[in-house]
Structure 1
Amino acid sequence: MDLSALLSPDCTRCAVAGSSKKKVLELIGQLAAPRLSGTTSFDVFESLLNRERLGSTGIGAGVAIPHGRLGSANKPVAVLMTLAEPIEFDAIDNQPIDIVFALLVPEDHHEQHLQTLAAVAQRLNDKSCTRALRDAQSDQALFELFTGGSCT
């Protein structure tokens, strides 16, 4: 799966100062909304927060994959961040997270949504990939690693 079609350099951030789960979800909204015509950062935040209320998207090993569907979205968009310091995210292993990959899709993209989540989870379960992402020193390096480097 070509994740560079979903993830763009302007939605990739390295060593973000995210003090809480809520702040990280808000930042995802700020990054993703400009790429989703007709969608506000609050729409994105609310979609992600509603999904988190169903159960945490913290998959363990320091990784979270928040995701949501948006009626106003016209295409899927992803956001990738590493955090400067791990934060509590109610992950399944009760460990803090420091890698966040968010996926936002149009309301009617059910199958694509599930396939993309599975592909991302597989990449982020690879210890060499997560190690490389954590070692990235810039937004661009993080983007290149995830879309074409050691995480493919």
Structure 2
Amino acid sequence: MSPFLAPMEIAMQSVQFNQRSADEITQELGGEIVRGSKFQAKPWTHIVVVVTLDGEKSMFGYVFWEPTEWQGATPDGLGALRLAADLRESMRVPGSDAWKKCRIRITRATGEIDIDFDYNGNSWTPTMSDPAAFAFSLRDR
């Protein structure tokens, strides 16, 4: 066997997480967020929530309407936080570190739920010097 084929062979044998379970939890998580009172009260276009599950668990978020209107808004209760923890567990691959933070972006027009993951825990730290720029940086790709 050629030594050049070994990495491909190893990659083909890698353990994967249960994609179906992760997709189902993602849909539940999105539903839990949009049903929240802080989001139903506005004609929102986008919702962004950042969840931290590294050490102390926390979340914060923003709701956007119109091109430049926004305000801080966090999902009601702990349901979204619990579902994010469930998502992390469903994505855990044995022998690999789990993600520490995730950014959840929901677009009303399309119903799309887009989630980015931070495995180091260094992303999406609020910038108090310019809260608006920080909020829009989370919303925009």
Q: Same fold (TM over 0.5)?
A: no
TM-score between the two structures when normalised by the length of structure 2: 0.32
Say which one has the larger Rg. Answer: 2
Structure with more relative contact order (C-alpha pairs < 8 Å, separation 6 or more)? 1
TM-score between the two structures when normalised by the length of structure 1: 0.30
